[in-house]
Chains A and B, each alone.
Chain A
Amino acid sequence: MSEPAEYFRPLRPTELRQVGRPLARTDAPGKATGSTRYGGDYTMPGMLHAKVLRSPLASARLRRIDVSKARALPGVACTFTGADLSDRLAPTDIPGQTGAKRLDTGQSILVKERVRYYGEPLALVAAETPAIAQKALDLIEYDLDALPGVYDPLEALKPESPIVQGSNNIVAQLKIRKGDLDQGFAEADRVIENSYRTQFVEHAFLEPEVGLAWVDENDVINIRVSTQVIEHFRSIADAVGVPHNKVRIMGAMVGGGFGGKEDLTVEIYLALLTRATRRPVQLVYTREESFLGHGKRHPFVMTYRTGVTKDGAITALKVTITADAGAYVFLSPYVILYALVAAPGPYRIDNLHVDATAVATNNMYTSAFRGFGAAQACVAYEAQMDEVAKALDLERMAFRRRNFLRTGDKLATDVPIESAVWTDECMTKAWEALGERTPDSVPVKVGRGVACYQQSYGRIMWLHDTSEAWVGIEVDGTVTVRSGVTDIGAGQISALGQIAAELLGVSLSDVAIYHSDSSTTPLAGTTTATRALYMTGNAVRLAASAVRERLVARSAKALRATPSQVDLANSRAFVIDDPDRWIGFKQLVALCASEGIHRSELALFRAPFTDKIDPETGRGRVHPDYTYGAHAVEVAVDTETGEVTVLKSIGAHDVGRAINPAAVAGQIEGGAAQGQGYALSEEMCYQEGRLITLSLSEYLIPTAMDVPQIESIILESRSGLGPFGAKGIGEPALIPVAPAIANAVADAIGVRVYDLPITPERIVMALRQPDSME
């Protein structure tokens, strides 16, 4: 790839040459031409094919399972049932970087006795072909005794309900007690209370789960897998009973994650099968298996009780959140922590109570999904802002402005926000971009909505997040970056290249990046929590800066200048005030090499660490920092059929600094589409725990026909903790979309649909309510 000449003009040292440009991402050509290799594109000679047998009941006791007929089938190499396994569990806790044990939340790798959800794995098979493996599954005999189950979190809290987890089905409970709630409500002129519900949501990434495992000559179990988290090698090693350095995870380009590849997927099955057979084993999920095989977004029931004065000052807020955790704990405790922190939204609320509870049921387990609990909270708090404004007859945006959190104000957890809070700027810009209003045409009514948000970037601070990266320069002046980061499609890797190129004064095409190998690339931490750019970007910045410093020092000597007078750009080192005095990068590197000057660096970036928040008040820091922004939409609602057409969709976000604005726009566009599905059409439906939307013809993600042209407005406060002042945009881009659409629909039809998704049917029902407009 060659870059336009303008990038090569000499610039002032404060100016950035690579960072901030919409460069073609390093992963773009391969994806555009189809040459990129994903996990499923790797095969090995003599490879076996694995399949997983899953429970057809959501709550049952496994009385008997017999694999003898399957084993006897020619071509079957190996089977596993719960009885073949030790008592080791599959860890479901958030992957750590410290070795510290947090929650006791393991799940049997295969069901030993108790089935708790529909699709829970009962047995594994590895065979010479996928067809034989499939046939072997059909030959496995088993008896399940159905047990009473519970499928609603509010039901599951009742004492007479069946117990799915623990002693009372409560898998986590958190609270915030800030200010004086009674006093706050006493000061209010009006108190408005509403309940909002969200649904089970599927990640629906393009690439279903896939992996290939083999044992190498060092007796290391290698697993090439589509994952967001190569650090799982530790939990896999623990689960199969080998030392940590005997499991190696290699990623590949990931065809989408959205949190759905944050937990373990196929890894432990592959590790067991390859270890037992000593042959390479591949496991490829179909779409249906993918739907059954990973956790979903938590459905929430959220009650908001807001006290407000006549002129629109919020005096008190009481929030109750109940989340359906499904059958196993997984990341539920952390998801409700995010919801807890996000509950008031980007507003300053001095008197605040929040109670968040995650409850086990016999539904599919729920875990990470872009937005991680904070997305659900935004659905409620932004709907509630509109409802309160409506009740008080206040203009929606003026009411928001009156209450926006500003830099220095205290967050929900009673600690101040230090970075820029440009919610107002984002909301104003997004709204303005809606332009002229589309007129109504009977029976179609047009409405507009806006939603603002606060979303963390970076991991929970008591997880003690760190990231390592290595940057080195070859003697020909080309650059190599090594980072364990996985690229789940957002351009994580390319951004690292841009940062290294910026600091070393070369172009992006001079940088080669090695990634996602737990044994050979420095561990960079998970690609989750909108932390990849913040953490790995900073690690690369540190490593590249260290190398840069040595190069600058050596070139200053060669140019008879001081290091502060020298800059690196256009593959040369030059004197800033006299650019004709320069030395070529290659020559400089050769000089360094012959003098033994270190041309590489392994750096560690440490996020700020804290202890846990106070369990009684919720006081304390939870996240390093937050991103703020807004989304505005215009919709047309057919008031007869209830169909909704999104006409305009505009995201405006303060990303701190856009390392690559094209990649940022990609996130905003993807978030707009995903959020539209969340608002209008997507729902994983479970009947008595059984998934009834088992394909993409029932689980309705928006198509190109449904999504309008999306406009991305990028604001840059340069106040973030990431490299060059960047914040994060991965999760944030999604957060405000669904509530903005919900608000636009309510604006169009004059009544609110309190439950997502806002289907045509729900709109028709809402319009039939006696209190609905005409």
Chain B
Amino acid sequence: MQPRRDGAPETRKTMLADFDLVIPANLTQALQILSEDATRNGHDAMPLAGGTNLLVDIRARRAAPKRLIALGKLDELRGTTIDNGRVIVGGRTTLTDVLRAPRMAEHAPSLVQSARVFGGQMVRNSATVAGNLCYGSPAADTVPPLLSLNAELTLASQAGRRVVPLNDFFLGYKQNVRRHDELVTEITWPLPPSNSANLFYKLARRKGDAITVVGLAVTLVVESGKCSCVRIALGAVAPVIKRALAAEAMLIDQALTPTLIDAAAGQAVEACEPIDDARASAEYRCHGVYVLTRRLLTQAWERLS
């Protein structure tokens, strides 16, 4: 008998199916590979960012891509900047990068709140914001904040770039408008004005490494004692994360009162189409939407008035 020697190949224990790993050196190369793949190989390649969704799916045999295009070397897509009144997060930026970015707590309070309770440290070090959006889990934690911030995505391919509001990005459960030859290169949103509040709450069964039971983000802007803009985003209560538009409509141009907030919270529940699963019942999810909408609206209003 001999113990395993250091450096010996570990493939014998791999639990993943076979795939080819392509590591482009820059964005141009990456887009070229994806474009060739889309035309010649019939989309059997997938971008690989942190792998915290994709590799899990491959191991569970939920995905079986023949090629993975690793984005690890695309440093040009990594980082956060401010340009022309907009915050820009690169398509390879990790959750840890978001937490470390200077002044992000002012530029996207809700996103920072969600990043703080996202997975655990190891996951945050690998997981990217773009991966979180593209995977499109109904429980994705960066989506409610980014919806509440009115974020837009830049999708790039060899053919060019297009900008898609996050609100229009999702088509259905784990489906979105991204074409196979496209990469998300940027996620941007306008700098929040000083008379705004932006909050997020993750309701989950434990505090670390938890899949969200209800994720709720609220943006409120108050002008002359009235709500001039409000966005309420609901996570994990429908096949797609979405805004509670009817509830928002009830609040616009109003001074918020407990009664009005209560009514809007009730209206937000109407927007939910939750399921029962091992984590929580549909009923509890609705309850969560109700209490959290009420809580975040109240906090936002109190902060601004």
- Chain A residues with a Cβ under 8 A of chain B: 37, 41-45, 49, 129-131, 212, 214, 224, 280, 284, 286, 640-641, 643, 645, 680-681, 685, 692-693, 697-698, 700, 702-706, 759-761, 764
Q: Knowing that A49-B12, A680-B206, A764-B284 are A-B contacts, what are 9 other residue pairs whose CB atoms are under 8 Å apart, sorted by A's residue number?
A: A45-B2, A640-B291, A698-B279, A700-B206, A703-B120, A705-B207, A705-B208, A761-B280, A764-B287
Whether A129 pairs with B291 at a CB distance below 8 angstroms is no
- Find the A residue at minimum CB distance from B209: A703
- Find the A residue at minimum CB distance from B295: A640
Residues of chain B lying within 8 A (CB to CB) of residue A692:
278
Residues of chain B lying within 8 A (CB to CB) of residue A214:
1
Residues of chain A lying within 8 A (CB to CB) of residue B4:
41-43
A402 shortest CB reach to chain B, Å: 37
A30 shortest CB reach to chain B, Å: 12
Residues of chain B lying within 8 A (CB to CB) of residue A702:
206
B159 beta carbon closer than 8 Å to chain A = no
Whether A698 pairs with B278 at a CB distance below 8 angstroms is yes
Whether A44 pairs with B1 at a CB distance below 8 angstroms is yes
In the bound complex, CA of A131 to CA of B1 (Å): 23
Whether B284 pairs with A681 at a CB distance below 8 angstroms is no
Whether A760 pairs with B203 at a CB distance below 8 angstroms is yes
B253 shortest CB reach to chain A, Å: 28
Q: Which of B205, B279, B287 has most A Cβ within 10 Å?
A: B205
Q: What per-residue 1/0 map shows which CB atoms of B268-293 lie under 8 Å from chain A?
A: 00000000001111001001100110
In the bound complex, CA of A49 to CA of B15 (Å): 13
B210 beta carbon closer than 8 Å to chain A = yes
In the bound complex, CA of A704 to CA of B209 (Å): 10
Residues of chain A lying within 8 A (CB to CB) of residue B287:
764
Whether A130 pairs with B13 at a CB distance below 8 angstroms is yes
Residues of chain B lying within 8 A (CB to CB) of residue A685:
278
Q: Which of A131, A286, A681 contacts B206 (CB 8 A)?
A: A681
In the bound complex, CA of A645 to CA of B213 (Å): 17
In the bound complex, CA of A42 to CA of B5 (Å): 10
Residues of chain A lying within 8 A (CB to CB) of residue B279:
698
Give 27 A-B contacts (CB < 8 Å), ordered by A residue.
A41-B3, A42-B3, A42-B4, A43-B1, A43-B4, A44-B1, A44-B2, A130-B15, A224-B1, A640-B291, A640-B295, A641-B291, A641-B292, A643-B203, A645-B207, A692-B278, A697-B209, A697-B211, A700-B206, A700-B210, A703-B208, A705-B120, A705-B206, A705-B209, A759-B280, A760-B284, A761-B281
Whether B3 pairs with A286 at a CB distance below 8 angstroms is no
Whether B208 pairs with A704 at a CB distance below 8 angstroms is yes
Q: Which of B209, B213, B280 has most A Cβ within 10 Å?
A: B209
B112 shortest CB reach to chain A, Å: 17
A37 shortest CB reach to chain B, Å: 6
Q: Which of B2, B120, B207, B208 contacts A43 (CB 8 A)?
A: B2
Whether A37 pairs with B3 at a CB distance below 8 angstroms is yes
Residues of chain A lying within 8 A (CB to CB) of residue B1:
42-44, 212, 214, 224, 280
- Find the A residue at minimum CB distance from B59: A286
B212 shortest CB reach to chain A, Å: 12
Whether B205 pairs with A681 at a CB distance below 8 angstroms is yes
B201 shortest CB reach to chain A, Å: 9
In the bound complex, CA of A706 to CA of B284 (Å): 21
- Find the A residue at minimum CB distance from B294: A640
In the bound complex, CA of A628 to CA of B6 (Å): 46
Q: Which of A129, A212, A703 contacts B207 (CB 8 A)?
A: A703
Residues of chain A lying within 8 A (CB to CB) of residue B205:
681, 700, 759-760
DSSP class of B's interface residues: helix, strand, loop or mixed?
loop
In the bound complex, CA of A629 to CA of B119 (Å): 36
Whether A706 pairs with B206 at a CB distance below 8 angstroms is yes
Residues of chain A lying within 8 A (CB to CB) of residue B288:
641
In the bound complex, CA of A643 to CA of B284 (Å): 12
B219 shortest CB reach to chain A, Å: 21
Residues of chain B lying within 8 A (CB to CB) of residue A703:
120, 206-209
B152 shortest CB reach to chain A, Å: 31
A662 shortest CB reach to chain B, Å: 26
Q: Which of B1-36 touch A at CB < 8 Å?
A: 1-4, 12-15
Residues of chain A lying within 8 A (CB to CB) of residue B211:
697
Residues of chain B lying within 8 A (CB to CB) of residue A286:
15
- Find the B residue at minimum CB distance from A677: B206
Whether B207 pairs with A706 at a CB distance below 8 angstroms is yes
- Find the A residue at minimum CB distance from B18: A131
In the bound complex, CA of A693 to CA of B205 (Å): 14
In the bound complex, CA of A700 to CA of B210 (Å): 8
B8 shortest CB reach to chain A, Å: 9
In the bound complex, CA of A704 to CA of B288 (Å): 25
Whether B203 pairs with A284 at a CB distance below 8 angstroms is no
- Find the A residue at minimum CB distance from B5: A43
A133 shortest CB reach to chain B, Å: 11
In the bound complex, CA of A702 to CA of B207 (Å): 8
**Which 5 residue pairs spanning A and B have beta carbons closest together?**
A703-B208, A705-B208, A705-B207, A640-B291, A761-B284
- Find the B residue at minimum CB distance from A287: B15
In the bound complex, CA of A645 to CA of B208 (Å): 12
Residues of chain B lying within 8 A (CB to CB) of residue A759:
205, 280
Q: Which of B1, B3, B211 has most A Cβ within 10 Å?
A: B1
A224 shortest CB reach to chain B, Å: 7
In the bound complex, CA of A49 to CA of B11 (Å): 13
Residues of chain B lying within 8 A (CB to CB) of residue A693:
278
In the bound complex, CA of A41 to CA of B281 (Å): 42
Residues of chain A lying within 8 A (CB to CB) of residue B120:
703-705
In the bound complex, CA of A518 to CA of B206 (Å): 42
CB contact under 8 A between A706 and B291, given known A41-B4, A214-B1, A286-B15: no
In the bound complex, CA of A59 to CA of B242 (Å): 42
Residues of chain A lying within 8 A (CB to CB) of residue B281:
761
In the bound complex, CA of A764 to CA of B278 (Å): 17
In the bound complex, CA of A764 to CA of B155 (Å): 43
In the bound complex, CA of A124 to CA of B164 (Å): 52
B12 shortest CB reach to chain A, Å: 6
A278 shortest CB reach to chain B, Å: 16
B117 shortest CB reach to chain A, Å: 8
Residues of chain B lying within 8 A (CB to CB) of residue A45:
2
In the bound complex, CA of A760 to CA of B285 (Å): 11
In the bound complex, CA of A700 to CA of B205 (Å): 8
A699 shortest CB reach to chain B, Å: 9
Q: Which of A212, A224, A698 has most B Cβ within 10 Å?
A: A698
- Find the B residue at minimum CB distance from A128: B12
Residues of chain A lying within 8 A (CB to CB) of residue B213:
760
Residues of chain A lying within 8 A (CB to CB) of residue B12:
49, 129-130
CB contact under 8 A between A706 and B208, given known A37-B3, A49-B12, A286-B15: yes
A144 shortest CB reach to chain B, Å: 21
B207 shortest CB reach to chain A, Å: 4
A235 shortest CB reach to chain B, Å: 24
B206 shortest CB reach to chain A, Å: 5
In the bound complex, CA of A42 to CA of B284 (Å): 48
A3 shortest CB reach to chain B, Å: 29
In the bound complex, CA of A541 to CA of B31 (Å): 71
A702 shortest CB reach to chain B, Å: 6
Residues of chain B lying within 8 A (CB to CB) of residue A704:
120, 208
Residues of chain B lying within 8 A (CB to CB) of residue A212:
1
Residues of chain B lying within 8 A (CB to CB) of residue A640:
291, 295
In the bound complex, CA of A42 to CA of B207 (Å): 36
B130 shortest CB reach to chain A, Å: 22
B282 shortest CB reach to chain A, Å: 11
- Find the B residue at minimum CB distance from A37: B3
- Find the A residue at minimum CB distance from B288: A641
In the bound complex, CA of A49 to CA of B292 (Å): 51
Residues of chain B lying within 8 A (CB to CB) of residue A697:
209, 211
Residues of chain B lying within 8 A (CB to CB) of residue A705:
120, 206-209
Residues of chain A lying within 8 A (CB to CB) of residue B210:
700
Residues of chain B lying within 8 A (CB to CB) of residue A131:
14
In the bound complex, CA of A43 to CA of B1 (Å): 6
B277 shortest CB reach to chain A, Å: 9
- Find the B residue at minimum CB distance from A643: B203
Residues of chain A lying within 8 A (CB to CB) of residue B2:
43-45
